[in-house]
Structures are given as structure tokens and as C-alpha cells.
């Protein structure tokens, strides 16, 4: 949260804590659900895509092949759905007190990053168990992750603001995210996509990022830099547009909520 | 008073759109029948006044007179359609029951959350925590989730946090109505103390007695316009006359 001015840091950390502490309060397994959820998702998908439909998985167990993509994808999808609701669910606060409204979005995404980090522990265990070799190229995950966060934040700003005006956005988003996942190589490798359709994936920053994660974690290679650079550029533009759009609508939030 | 005003409204107007159809199902037939989707109305019109630091000003008027909109403009959560609002200094609104709280979190956790929302940092909250818990009279229940609290306990917690924020302007919106009499008295005493320390207090209430007790000046609003801005006694007399006449 280095980019936040010191003034807002205590507030954002309290909002993140609220999100994390409150979520699984009245449940026995509590926060363990953050790990269990993607784990069971992975088990079922592995059954379907490696035993029923045989999808090639770059020479590693399908479970690992999938997890490397599924975890960042879940982070992306969860961040978007929760951010979209973040302004609406804080309507009472928005009407009462002023602080930059994007703090709600930032706090929501930060809480999802915490979830993601915990869920990733299973992936690390899997990789140790199956002895997947990694090398220094693994460090590429940090810039890739950074680009993903930028892209997510930019989109989340637009969606959160729009959802305050029209609640259709949150329902539409569920559908879009489902379709988007199939148009991103999460369940299957990029290599299975026929050449004439590859362009769809080049236009999709999430596809570029997911491929990059696989390349650096599973293959130990260097991600395709030109694609990554385009994804980075797209993400910066998304953040700029999102901020402009959000700030433009921010003045009427309290009136329409 | 010769000091610079802490709040200044100059020719302030706020236009609202009353949307009648919010979904397609409602909107489409309305379009066919040539009905407009809603109507514009002035929630506030032509408001000009200024408030000096340390003043306690009551805002009175019927429901829909524009009292809450006025508070929103002072709090800076909404901007005026016309005119200028100038506010200088840190504001602490008394946050409505539930708004700054999460039912699943404990009283203690909620103090941290609420105080952070009001702009305190962790050190300040740590320092004020005992005083807040003490004022709220909640030491027994401070570590249980606030969903088990009564509405009176909620109010005490919210009030206790809000008055411990080092704010120059305190906005109080009808919230005192919830607590029992003993706590109301305690709050009024605390507010009087803050007043003496130079805190500016904007007090919105339907309870004329507490407005009279607490504020030396009252602004009476009717349909978004100032009817009278005067001493509390004069304004309240005017208001009571209007209410009894209708």
C-alpha cells in the first residue's frame, strides 16, 4: 500500500481487517475456506479435465498445471465481483462521511490478495511433492502479478462506479466472468487453441498473464516480453481510464446510492 | 464575533432528481405513455449563512425540509448544484447506527474500524480506547460481537467514538433519540464540554427541548429554504407556531 498517502493507510488497513475478520465469523472452519474452496475446485476440475476429457498439461500433473492458472484467475474474478459491490454495500458510510471512495475498492482487492496468498500455500506444497523444478525465472511472477493487480484495479473502479448507478452490472458481471474464464487458458493450454483463433487471446490481458505465470513457474522460462509489455500498457490505460471515470462520478455517489 | 467563519454557505442550492422508474419493466411502459422518468426538485435553495468556530447551531424543520442534505453538504459527501460551500476543519459526523459498524465484529474491533473511518490512526485509537469503552459503559461486552448489542448499546459506542475524535466540527443527526434518558443527559453534558473547548456543533433534531437547551442559534428550514435563522428561542417559537397551525 505504498502508493497510498499516510493519511489513508490506517483506514484501508481497518477496512481490509473488517473484510477478512468478518467473512467467516460464524463458521467452524472459518478462514480455512479460503484454502479449501480453490482446492476442491481444483479436485473436481482435475477429475474432469485429466481423467474424463484428457487435456494436455505441459508435462506436469494437471493439478499443478491448473492451480498455477486457477489461483490468479480466482483472485481476478473475486476481486472484480467484490469490488463491484463494495460501494453499494457501504452506502450508509458514503452518505455520511467523505474520504476517497476508491479506498473501498483498494481495501477489497487487498483482502482478496491476502486470500490468494493463503490459497497459494497449497500450490507450493503440491510443487514440492511432485518435485517441480523452478529456477530464477520464477521471480517473474512479481512483475506479472503487479500487472494483474493494475488491470484488476482499473476494471474494478469502472465496475464499482457503474454498479452504484445500475445494479444490473453485478448480475451481468457474473455472466461475463464465466465466459471470460473459458476465453482464458485456465483449464487448457494455449497450445490447444487453433491458430486462427489465437488473436482472441492476444487481445485478452488475462490470457497473456496466465500464460506468463505458466511459463515462469512450470517451464522455468522467460515470458513473452512483447505480450507482457502490451498487457502492461493495457493495464496502465485501464487504471488511467478507471480513475478518471471513477473520480468523475464520485461527486454524485452520495446522491444516487 | 470577529474570527473567520468555519462554515460558509453562499447562495447554495441542491437539485435532486426523483427517479420514479428504476427498472426496465417500469421504464418501458412509462416511455410508451410519454411519461417522464422522474422530476427535478430543489432539496435546498438559496442558502446563505456562516457559522463561527465554537458555535452550536440547531437545524430544525419537518421531514424532507432538507436537514440531512444540509449535513451532507457540510460533510462534503455531496456537492452543491449552485453556490459555494466552504468548510474548514476536521469533521466528525456521528455515524448512524450500523453504518460504520460490522455486526460480526466485536465492540473493540468496531471501535478501531469506526475510529479509522473518522480519521484516527492506530496510536490515537490505542490511547483513547479505555476512555471510549468507559464512556460507552460497555466494558463487559466489549469483546462480544455487536450484533448482540441492543440499539442503545450501539448508540453509546458510536457516540463514544465520535466525540473522542479530535474534530473541529461535530455533526449530530437525530441520533440521541435512541438512548435512554440517563445516557442522553450524559451525552449532552459531554457535548457542552466540547462546546466549551471550542468545538463547533451542528445539531439536527426534532426534540425542541434538547435543541433549546443546547444551541444558542437555530436555523429553521422549510422546503429547502431558510425560514428563520436566529436565536434558538425565536426560531423554535416560530417553528412550533407553524406546526400547530397545520
**Could you report the per-residue pLDDT of A210-248, keeping only the tens digit for each?**
999 999 999 999 999 999 999 999 999 999 999 999 999
Cβ contacts of B117 on chain A, cutoff 8 Å: 11, 14, 93, 97, 99
Is the complex ipTM higher than 0.85?
no
Sheet bearing B82-87, strands edge to edge: B38-51, B7-19, B82-87
Among A12-16, A145-149, A213-217, B185-189, name the one with the lowest average pLDDT: B185-189
The label of the residue with cell 456543533 reads B201
Report how far residue B174's alpha carbon sits from residue B205's, in angstroms, rounded to the nearest whole number.
Answer: 5
Q: Could you tell me the end-to-end alpha-carbon distance of chain A, in angstroms, rounded to an integer?
A: 28
Q: Phi, psi at residue A96, to the nearest 5°?
A: -105, -35
CB A213 within 8 A of CB A74: no
**What residues of chain B have any CB closer than 8 angstroms to a CB in chain A?**
16, 72, 75-79, 91, 93, 95-96, 98-100, 102, 104-105, 109, 112-113, 116-122, 145
What's the burial of B21, exposed, middle or buried (CB within 10 Å: 0-12/13-18/19+)?
Answer: middle
Q: Which of A11, A17, A94 sits opposite B77 (nearest CB)?
A: A94
For residue B29, pLDDT over 70 is answered with: no
pTM: 0.89
CB B116 within 8 A of CB A11: yes
Provide the phi-psi class of B146: left if phi over 0, else alpha when psi is between -120 and 50, else beta: alpha
Q: How confident is the model at residue B33 (pLDDT cuts 50, 70, 90)?
A: low
Cα→Cα distances B122→A107, A117, B87, Å? 17, 25, 26
| A5 near B CB under 8 A | no
CB B68 within 8 A of CB B228: no
For residue A135, pLDDT over 70 is answered with: yes
Task: Check A10 against B120: CB less than 8 A apart.
Answer: yes
Q: What percent of chain A has pLDDT over 90?
A: 70
| Torsion over CA: A244, A255, B220, B158 (sign) | negative
Average pLDDT, chain B: 85
Q: Which of A10, A22, A254 sits opposite B105 (nearest CB)?
A: A22
Task: Check B105 against A21: CB less than 8 A apart.
Answer: yes
pLDDT of B21: 57
Q: Which domains does chain B have, with CATH numbers?
A: 55-245 (3.40.50.300)
CB B232 within 8 A of CB B209: no
CA angle, residues B212, B217, B220, in degrees to nearest 5? 85
| A248 near B CB under 8 A | no
pLDDT of B178: 64
Q: What is the arithmetic mean of pLDDT over B78-84?
A: 92
Amino acid at each position: 500500500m505504498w502508493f497510498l498517502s499516510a493519511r489513508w493507510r490506517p483506514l484501508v488497513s481497518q477496512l481490509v481487517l473488517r473484510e477478512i475478520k468478518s467473512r467467516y465469523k460464524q463458521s467452524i472452519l472459518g478462514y480455512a475456506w479460503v484454502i479449501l474452496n480453490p482446492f476442491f475446485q481444483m479436485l473436481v476440475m482435475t477429475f474432469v479435465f485429466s481423467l474424463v476429457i484428457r487435456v494436455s498439461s505441459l508435462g506436469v500433473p494437471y493439478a499443478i498445471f491448473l492451480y498455477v492458472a486457477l489461483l490468479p484467475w480466482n483472485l481476478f474474478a473475486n476481486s472484480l465481483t467484490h469490488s463491484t459491490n463494495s460501494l453499494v454495500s457501504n452506502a450508509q458510510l458514503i452518505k455520511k462521511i467523505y474520504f476517497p471512495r476508491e479506498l473501498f475498492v483498494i481495501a477489497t482487492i487487498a483482502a482478496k490478495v491476502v486470500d490468494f496468498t493463503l490459497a497459494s500455500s497449497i500450490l507450493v506444497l503440491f510443487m514440492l511433492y511432485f518435485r517441480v523444478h523452478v529456477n530464477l525465472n520464477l521471480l517473474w511472477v512479481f512483475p506479472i502479478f503487479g500487472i494483474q493487480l493494475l488491470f484488476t484495479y482499473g476494471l474494478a473502479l469502472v465496475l464499482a462506479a457503474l454498479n452504484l448507478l445500475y445494479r444490473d452490472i453485478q448480475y451481468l458481471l457474473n455472466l461475463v466472468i464465466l465466459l471470460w474464464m473459458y476465453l482464458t487458458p485456465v483449464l487448457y493450454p494455449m497450445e490447444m487453441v487453433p491458430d486462427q483463433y489465437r488473436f482472441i487471446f492476444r487481445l485478452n490481458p488475462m490470457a497473456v498473464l496466465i500464460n506468463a505465470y505458466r511459463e515462469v513457474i512450470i517451464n522455468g522460462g522467460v515470458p513473452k516480453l512483447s505480450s507482457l509489455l502490451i498487457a502492461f500498457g493495457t493495464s496502465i490505460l485501464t487504471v488511467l481510464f478507471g480513475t478518471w471515470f471513477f473520480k468523475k462520478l464520485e461527486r454524485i455517489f452520495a446522491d444516487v446510492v | 464575533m470577529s474570527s473567520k467563519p468555519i462554515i460558509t454557505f453562499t447562495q447554495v442550492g441542491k437539485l435532486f432528481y426523483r427517479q420514479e422508474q428504476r427498472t426496465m419493466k417500469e421504464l418501458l411502459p412509462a416511455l410508451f405513455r410519454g411519461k417522464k422518468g422522474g422530476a427535478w426538485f430543489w432539496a435546498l435553495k438559496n442558502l446563505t449563512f456562516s457559522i463561527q468556530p465554537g458555535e452550536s447551531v440547531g437545524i430544525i424543520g419537518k421531514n424532507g425540509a432538507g436537514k440531512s442534505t444540509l449535513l451532507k453538504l457540510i460533510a462534503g459527501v455531496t456537492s452543491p448544484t449552485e453556490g459555494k460551500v466552504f468548510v474548514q476543519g476536521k469533521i466528525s459526523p456521528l455515524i448512524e447506527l450500523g453504518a460504520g459498524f460490522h455486526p460480526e465484529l466485536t465492540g473493540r474491533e468496531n471501535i478501531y474500524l469506526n475510529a479509522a473511518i473518522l480519521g484516527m490512526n492506530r496510536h490515537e485509537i490505542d490511547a483513547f480506547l479505555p476512555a471510549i469503552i468507559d464512556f460507552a459503559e460497555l466494558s463487559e461486552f466489549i469483546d462480544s460481537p455487536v450484533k448482540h448489542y441492543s440499539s442503545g448499546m450501539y448508540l453509546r459506542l458510536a457516540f463514544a467514538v465520535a466525540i473522542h475524535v479530535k474534530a473541529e466540527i461535530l455533526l449530530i443527526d437525530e441520533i440521541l433519540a435512541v438512548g435512554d434518558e440517563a445516557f442522553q443527559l450524559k451525552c449532552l453534558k459531554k457535548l457542552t464540554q466540547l462546546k466549551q473547548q471550542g468545538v463547533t456543533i451542528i445539531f439536527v433534531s426534532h426534540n425542541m427541548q434538547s435543541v433549546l437547551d443546547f444551541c444558542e442559534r437555530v436555523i429553521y428550514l422549510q422546503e429547502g429554504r431558510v425560514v428563520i435563522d436566529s436565536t434558538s428561542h425565536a426560531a423554535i417559537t416560530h417553528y412550533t407556531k407553524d406546526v400547530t397551525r397545520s
